Amino acid sequence: MTRLHIISASTRPTSSGRALARWVTELATDQGTFNPTLIDLGEVALPFLDEPGLPSDGRYVHQHTKDWSTVIGAAECFVFVMPMYNGGFTAPLKNAIDSLYQEWQGKPVGLISYSAGASGGAPAVEMIRPVLARVGLRPAAHTLSIPAIDDHLDAAGHFRATPGLTGEARAVLAGVARPADPAQREHAVA
């Protein structure tokens, strides 16, 4: 089974994105092809880039960076569940990406964005693409942007997807599963 890390990119304690990230994790589990792990950047609480050396050197001094390296290095692919703030993606997500380098190389990433408004966070998806390319992540072709996120939460705070959203999320997961397959990677290189 493919080791998938679903990263919830909001650190706000009241973020609606956590419910969305839990739902994506459940969906990935139900597909039976993934061994998914949900990672909440709010719980990780990674300090802002405090290593003395460059991330590309991979010589980490601080235990929190070593721990983050181990977590990210263990994954074969990712899905970022990301809010849009002021037209962009979150500073904690940028920091989480920037803190490492080799651990991201060549791995597929799916992008699921959300917002309180009508855009669904699509501008944040476009903004993050150059960053992903710089660290060698390979974005899946299919993305999902969910507008009016709070309208998808029930009274208990659980994410309730429409059949259309479920199909779109499955397409994102399929996009990260195919490139993560070692046989397909070998075929792509040949």
Q: What are the domain boundaries of the chain?
A: 2-189
Distance, in Å, from the CA atom of 95 to the CA atom of 120, rounded to the nearest integer, reads 22
User: What is the predicted pLDDT for the residue at 179?
Assistant: 58
Distance, in Å, from the CA atom of 18 to the CA atom of 10, rounded to the nearest integer, reads 8
User: What is the predicted pLDDT for the residue at 153?
Assistant: 95
Please give the average per-residue pLDDT across 93-119, as a whole number: 97
Whether pLDDT at 158 is above 70: yes
- Its sign, for the CA torsion 169, 163, 30, 185, is negative
Whether pLDDT at 188 is above 50: no
Whether pLDDT at 189 is above 50: no
Q: What is the DSSP letter of 4?
A: E
User: What is the predicted pLDDT for the residue at 178?
Assistant: 66
Please give the average per-residue pLDDT across 166-172, as a whole number: 97
Q: Give the model confidence (pLDDT) of 44-75 as tens digits.
A: 999 999 999 999 999 999 999 999 999 999 99
Whether pLDDT at 164 is above 70: yes
Q: Give the three-class secondary structure for 74.
A: coil
CATH number belonging to domain 2-189: 3.40.50.360
109 burial (CB, 10 Å; 0-12 / 13-18 / 19+) is buried
Band of pLDDT at residue 185, cut at 50, 70 and 90: very low
Write down the pTM of the prediction.
0.92
Whether pLDDT at 83 is above 70: yes
Whether pLDDT at 25 is above 90: yes
Q: What does pLDDT average to over the chain? A: 93
Residue 23's closest CA among 175, 177, 162? 162
